Structure 1
């Protein structure tokens, strides 16, 4: 366990303040969009850097004592020279303002990745990968806080790194844990450096500044406060909603207050639109444009990328099935979009609509369609039949290759898949006459 000192005289007297950020993913590509629209792709390429600049500006505006960055500064171990230079430029601004920076590296930017030979400003401390490092932060000559952190020496860290961290000593001041890790289980992220909330609690730290989970979240509100700041800029449709960092103040008595600060310059949205009450293509286009207008009006001046999902049963399903219809609508929505400072770009339109059918009437039919609906209805309502169906599928999941690639399906997911299968089959089997067209 190493122990070093960093000091500053900036900040509010009697309080400790800092910004907690993580997962900057500088230079992250917005996959797919550049091929569709190079101009838009170029603008999006700057988004992660703009979000980082917003974090730096926040630190300076609030005159914080220090900035914490909990891993994944870059998008890959072979980070670009441009990204490294831009990152250090931001740190130099903080150095000029007397603001310290503590960084731990994660799975996307491990210590063994390539780095250019660039001079780091004196206000930066990068956590070691050999073990947990304890760094003193001194303010007005007194030790005001300890930051305990560890970087990933290499990308694939699947062991519990928290076990390397020392317990908080009796005479320790406000203590912060800085780590890129997975607390509990999260199916959306690989379990790098997995640990439990109890592991964190047992060390008796005051605050855990975590990275790796991109959705901002407060895991624990007290004793200790455990927070994932999330990424400052969403990068794909799976990262919708506000993105940013946390501004934290600690009173002289040790009380912690946190505030989430939005830093994203482009925000992702997914909007679902039902066609059930629509009769014409004009109504649909008007409804879609209304969704885009709503996003623009409530975006706080930032740009947006939106995925539109059409669902529900209705006569428009017949039109939407025609080759080229969705492409035409997409072209219209993009063409009407003026690419100025604030844009609302439709990334994709997904068609999950269905023909309008009376399912009860289908169950009464004495033909192949009726038999099909009865079989699927039985699987969804008869526990024994569903159990037998699971057994029929078991070789798929229990085979050597199946175990590697496919997770077992529970009853809820199975019912969803059965409904999807029914929709696809009915779509293919029913004629226009069946739908009253």
Structure 2
């Protein structure tokens, strides 16, 4: 079992008192049974342990709802990782909902692009406390507390996976007699390059209906889109699954005062956290110094982890004599093995997923740019390509087929301009390794 740290809460937006007339938890993008990209292939035992992490995050959400005695739970899409939800994930999901039914807590769910309504579902009995939003139009659902109408939840599910229409425009406007009103939707507000623009809309679109709170899903990084009139929040996914999802992951605990003031807290639910650390080799002369430096970084991550496990990507940068050592065949693999030793058997592990070498030659690149030879020409060409927008566009066009469905597009992330420039620099480094002589390094 992975170590599950205690849930930690931190402020996300407006400050009000804890005692409110309405309280709920806003979660999204559970992606139950989602794999940790690239990890299972490296170590089978670690992969099996990590497979439980998304379920542990979901269980932490259920525990939070019961601990805080909230009125209801909102789930804004992507409960599962694929349209053909596996049976185990569905059973585990319903088990959690039944716990909330016993505690008298209701659940409102809308489906997103990863779990659209037309995907396969097992014939399982759902608890009576669950309401799933329909997919043909926005649905207004009443929530009663102590016999009185306390809130309306207005939501819509994705009928199919690819929804490129602005769904918010079809949501009804809040009427004068309506109580506290929540919009529940899986959508893209503005531009997020790392996510496909499903159900795209603008902040102004969300303001038009006059709701009090928008419970959104789809964007995995926790963020407050708008702090007031209306409050618009992406809670992010409750468990990071790859190096692009570093930092704390969780859900939102929301309280509404009798006067309608909204207080939100971000609650950490992840049992494993991703880290990316950049370490400079400048000033390091020997291999032993590098190993000590890296182990110190891992110890710091472990000490500040709050009891949770960590997966780390270490990025080596800077100029120094160790650059030549790092380029030697097999050295990085040996270094990785050294840092991983014994971690797999630890309950709270700090696992190094990868070591990336972005170090540079001890010789200053500015001096290479001044050379009047083939080496100088090479560096000048690469420098020009990195600042030539047309050239970058041509590189993107050449690589575009890699990201199409059926060609690995679901397994690899699209490359932005910064990453393209990094790839060009890597190519330059490989060529310089072959071209520069020992005399060049010594000078």
Deviates more, 1:160-169 or 1:242-251: 160-169
Answer yes or no: is 1:348 the counterpart of 2:348. Answer: no
Contact 1:303–1:342 (Cα < 8 Å) also in 2: yes
Q: 2:212 aligns with which of 198, 206, 211?
A: 206
SS of corresponding position for 1:167:
coil
Gaps spanning 5+ residues in structure 2: where? Answer: 1-17, 405-413
SS of corresponding position for 1:52:
helix
Contact 1:47–1:264 (Cα < 8 Å) also in 2: yes
Shift of 1:398: 7.8
Answer yes or no: is 1:158 the counterpart of 2:164. Answer: yes
SS of corresponding position for 1:87:
helix
For 1:113-165, what per-residue CA distance to the aligned partner results, in whole angstroms no more than 9, with x for missing partners? 11111111111000001100000001111100000000011111111111120
Residue of structure 2 equivalent to 1:194: 200
Residue of structure 2 equivalent to 1:334: 340
Residue of structure 1 equivalent to 2:108: 102
Answer yes or no: is 1:76 the counterpart of 2:79. Answer: no
Residue of structure 2 equivalent to 1:168: 174
Which of structures 1 and 2 has the bigger CA Rg?
A: 1
Supply the distance in 2 between the matched residues of 1:254 and 1:365 (Cα, whole angstroms). 68
Supply the distance in 1 between the matched residues of 2:232 and 2:330 (Cα, whole angstroms). 49
Q: Note closer, same or farther for the CA distance 1:107–1:282 as it changes in structure 2 (3 Å cut).
A: same
Contact 1:354–1:427 (Cα < 8 Å) also in 2: no
Q: 1:230 aligns with which of 230, 236, 240?
A: 236
Supply the distance in 1 between the matched residues of 2:239 and 2:402 (Cα, whole angstroms). 35
How many residue pairs align between the two structures? 418
Supply the distance in 1 between the matched residues of 2:61 and 2:438 (Cα, whole angstroms). 57
Using the size of structure 2 for normalisation, the TM-score is 0.88
Report 1:43-58 matches (<5 A). Answer: 43-58=49-64
Report 1:292-331 matches (<5 A). Answer: 292-331=298-337
Q: Note closer, same or farther for the CA distance 1:352–1:36 as it changes in structure 2 (3 Å cut).
A: same
Q: Indicate the structure whose relative CO is greater, using CA pairs within 8 Å and at least 6 residues apart.
A: 2
Q: 1:245 aligns with which of 248, 251, 259?
A: 251
Shift of 1:431: 1.1
Answer yes or no: is 1:429 the counterpart of 2:435. Answer: yes
Residue of structure 2 equivalent to 1:38: 44
Shift of 1:363: 4.2
The two structures, once aligned, show a CA RMSD in angstroms of 2.7
Shift of 1:379: 6.9
Supply the distance in 2 between the matched residues of 1:119 and 1:380 (Cα, whole angstroms). 57
Supply the distance in 2 between the matched residues of 1:125 and 1:328 (Cα, whole angstroms). 53
Supply the distance in 1 between the matched residues of 2:415 and 2:64 (Cα, whole angstroms). 46
Answer yes or no: is 1:365 the counterpart of 2:371. Answer: yes
Using the size of structure 1 for normalisation, the TM-score is 0.89
